[in-house]
Chains A and B, each alone.
Chain A
Amino acid sequence: MTAKNRRVGFALALGVAGMVGLSYASVPLYQLFCQVTGYGGTPKIGEPVAEATGDAIGHIITVTLDANVNPDLDWDFKPGVHNIDVALGEETLAIYSARNMGDTAVTGTAVFNVAPYKAAQYVSKIDCFCFSEQRLNPGEEVPMPVSFYIDPEILDDPDTAYLENIILSYTFYPSRTAAETDEDLDETNG
């Protein structure tokens, strides 16, 4: 193996290591990218409410509340009302309710999405039950509130200006991190 070959081989090995690193670096970068751009239906979180001005004052968009439960979770999860009319730039409270139908205490976690995806960057959540895990005892029913607003800039974007309806969707899954603790608790209870 000549020194020249070793040098090229070493440079190429560095290149390979760099690409593996890049593939892992893509995970946080992709997440950041989704949060910043609303890509793939990721709504904004915790931004100050932007007041409506001009034409946007009094502009109403109907928000449809959608609720789903993963089959592994024996919960009844539904929105209080199916549609709410939301004025642009106005903080709005929507309330879902969840009830544990099983006979053990379970921790669930909700993932969220906005459809159409292109509207997501204009939907901003101020507070949400989906920000933390929810633990329900057998038979317990709990209200699940979410407060959000729609950014008036939605009217300035030609791709979204025509929208009259936006879907806010949640799916509850059994929590992956809390699953083991649930079993431990069940054993001590039982």
Chain B
Amino acid sequence: MSDDHHKPSFARRWFMSTNHKDIGTLYLILAIIAAVIGGGMSWYIRLELMEPGIQYIDDFQFYNVLVTAHGFLMVFFVVMPAMIGGFGNWFVPLMVGAPDMAFPRLNNISFWLLAAGLILLVIAGLTGGGPGTGWTVYPPLSAKDYHPGMAVDLGILSLHLAGASSILGAANFITTIFNMRAPGMTIHRMPLFVWAILVTAFLLLLALPVLAGALTMLLTDRNFGTSFFIVEGGGDPLLWQHLFWFFGHPEVYIIIIPAFGIISEIVSTFSKKPIFGYLGMAYAMSAIGVVGFVVWAHHMFMTGLDVDTRAYFVAATMVIAVPTGVKIFSWLATMWGGSIEFKTPMLYAFGFIFLFVVGGVTGITLANAGMDVAFHDTYFVVAHFHYVMAIAAIFAMFAGFFYWIGKMCGRQYNEGLAKLQFWIFFIGVNILFFPQHFSGMAGMPRRIPDYPDPYAGWNYVSSIGALITAIGTFLFLYIAWTTIRSGEKAEANPWGEGATTLEWSVDSPAPFHTHEILPDMTGKAPAE
């Protein structure tokens, strides 16, 4: 590769970048910064909840702001940037054999819109009491009557920017994947991670404009006298819930489908086998994406839907378990008879599958309208969605980090320390979230800073889990830092024969420009 003499200045390289790898790195850095802020908020929340009574947070609006900001940060500024912006930018062009993204300058705009969105969100948190609406921003709580300051407006603008960033990014990914595949890299030979990003990009493209529309209605309701959601003006607050969840449910698949892609790559690599049922895996993701758009009202079982509507949403929701089951069993079948190597990425992949199954099972529980009436807005729901999309997503991100860090920075992590970090984190998150099923079934409501004494025991255990998770998080930051500073030199392919995708065919670290001569995939097996 003859391109390493190409060295733009620091400011040019990092602030005006059009290089998919540098932009991917920027996304990952932003995600780590946001994760530390969002994680810090959750630890503060758990500190307050460790014992009944009010210990640290006597301003309840501030507690609501913490809960809200934690949700926004983790969804829009940690998981999405890391998986789609970070790993997606880094590895989609590498894996399909393209020299860069289709619209490199648009890629730069996407990143900096997101950075501006993060800054706006922080400003919102510091303005006039902050937005204490929950990440769902339901009116009338989010209307002018209950949030008179500018905080909610700033929060809305922050989400607008994050949404615009994701829409532009999604259009970029779709164009890249459709138009810039190497010769012979047919749609049915693309690595599953590329498939995952493709499906995710379509979900983003269809779901985020609806959020943008709803947020604009809320903004004009608050400031310009419209009445989309204001009852006395002829509006309907329930309309917000429909629009929000029409975006919000696909959003959870936007978060988890890239994770499916990462896990598929890793399971195949470390089992030294091609993935079992490649086409089934690809179309299972597509099916999840399609069905994900017609199940939104299962978030609204408590809003007085009539019994037939509820029956439909229960059934449609449960149907999603079928393609999801296809994925789980295909991963297991890939491992079956494989020569499995328990490197850290594989441990994290195992961890992901375990956590995702636990969260999936409670998801089937909650899909029943009858049971949801009892569990609605309790810690059971909190435990469910943290298992299925929060910690499962984080596990996939850690898996991807350890899998690809050698390719990204040219240095390999310390295997012993990383395994220790996995076990601390795995034990920590389970102690943190498993007991919340129990408090939830006992009726503990979510989004409250104080609770009756009978809930004290499991809340204490849960907070201990948060402490262990925090130790695991800081150990991860230490590992990441020492790897980048002084890790061992990584080979082009540190994983051996199982790693067959195209990113392992270039040097580590991946040179500034790759695939200048397009690789020819004609006649080869699916990349996975």
* A→B interface (CB under 8 Å): 1-2, 4-5, 8-9, 12-13, 15-20, 22-24, 26-27, 30-31, 34, 39-41, 70, 109, 111, 116-118, 159, 171, 173-177
- The residue in chain B whose Cβ has the minimal distance to the Cβ of A26 is B243
B447 at the interface (CB under 8 A from A): no
* B 316-340 contacts with A by CB, 8 A: none
Tell me the dominant secondary structure on chain B's binding face. helix
Which stretch from B85-93, B184-192, B223-231, B348-356 is at the chain A interface? Answer: B223-231
**With A22-B210, A117-B306 in contact, is A9–B236 under 8 Å at CB?**
no
* Count class of interface residues, chain B: 20 to 34
How many whole Å from A164's CB to the nearest CB in chain B? 19
Instruction: Check B171 against A27 for contact (C-beta < 8 Å).
Output: no
B256 at the interface (CB under 8 A from A): no
How many whole Å from A31's CB to the nearest CB in chain B? 7
Which chain B residues lie closer than 8 Å to A176 at the CB level? 225, 227, 230, 232-233
15 new A-B contacts, CB < 8 A, other than A9-B171, A176-B233, are A5-B175, A8-B175, A13-B171, A18-B209, A19-B209, A20-B210, A26-B243, A27-B228, A27-B239, A40-B238, A41-B304, A117-B304, A173-B232, A174-B232, A176-B227
Instruction: Check A30 against B239 for contact (C-beta < 8 Å).
Output: yes
Contact of A159 (CB < 8 Å), options: B209, B210, B214, B306: B306
Rounded to whole angstroms, the CA-CA distance of A93 and B210 in the bound complex is 43
B174, B231, B232, B306 — most chain A CB neighbours (10 Å): B232
For B202-246 the 0/1 string (1 means CB < 8 A from A) is 000111011011100100000001011011110010110011000
Instruction: Check A16 against B209 for contact (C-beta < 8 Å).
Output: yes
Instruction: Check B213 against A24 for contact (C-beta < 8 Å).
Output: yes
Instruction: Check A111 against B231 for contact (C-beta < 8 Å).
Output: yes
Instruction: Check B243 against A23 for contact (C-beta < 8 Å).
Output: yes
How many whole Å from A145's CB to the nearest CB in chain B? 21
* B→A interface (CB under 8 Å): 102-103, 167, 170-171, 174-175, 178-179, 205-207, 209-210, 212-214, 217, 225, 227-228, 230-233, 236, 238-239, 242-243, 303-304, 306-307
A-B contact pairs, 25 of them (CB 8 A): A8-B175, A8-B179, A9-B171, A15-B205, A15-B206, A16-B167, A16-B209, A19-B210, A19-B213, A22-B209, A23-B209, A26-B242, A27-B217, A27-B239, A30-B236, A41-B304, A109-B232, A111-B232, A117-B306, A118-B307, A159-B306, A171-B231, A173-B232, A176-B225, A176-B232
Which chain B residues lie closer than 8 Å to A173 at the CB level? 231-232
How many whole Å from B231's CB to the nearest CB in chain A? 5
Which chain A residues lie closer than 8 Å to B233 at the CB level? 176-177
- The residue in chain A whose Cβ has the minimal distance to the Cβ of B209 is A19
Which chain A residues lie closer than 8 Å to B214 at the CB level? 23
- The residue in chain B whose Cβ has the minimal distance to the Cβ of A177 is B233
Instruction: Check A30 against B242 for contact (C-beta < 8 Å).
Output: yes
Rounded to whole angstroms, the CA-CA distance of A116 and B269 in the bound complex is 57
Rounded to whole angstroms, the CA-CA distance of A58 and B117 in the bound complex is 64
Which chain B residues lie closer than 8 Å to A23 at the CB level? 209-210, 212-214, 243
Which chain A residues lie closer than 8 Å to B213 at the CB level? 19-20, 22-24
How many whole Å from B290's CB to the nearest CB in chain A? 15
Instruction: Check B174 against A12 for contact (C-beta < 8 Å).
Output: yes
**With A12-B174, A23-B213, A30-B236 in contact, is A2–B179 under 8 Å at CB?**
yes
Instruction: Check B232 against A19 for contact (C-beta < 8 Å).
Output: no
Rounded to whole angstroms, the CA-CA distance of A91 and B212 in the bound complex is 45
Rounded to whole angstroms, the CA-CA distance of A20 and B216 in the bound complex is 10
Rounded to whole angstroms, the CA-CA distance of A10 and B170 in the bound complex is 13
How many whole Å from A185's CB to the nearest CB in chain B? 19
Which chain B residues lie closer than 8 Å to A24 at the CB level? 213, 217
Instruction: Check A9 against B102 for contact (C-beta < 8 Å).
Output: yes
Which chain A residues lie closer than 8 Å to B217 at the CB level? 24, 27
Instruction: Check B209 against A31 for contact (C-beta < 8 Å).
Output: no
Which chain A residues lie closer than 8 Å to B242 at the CB level? 26, 30
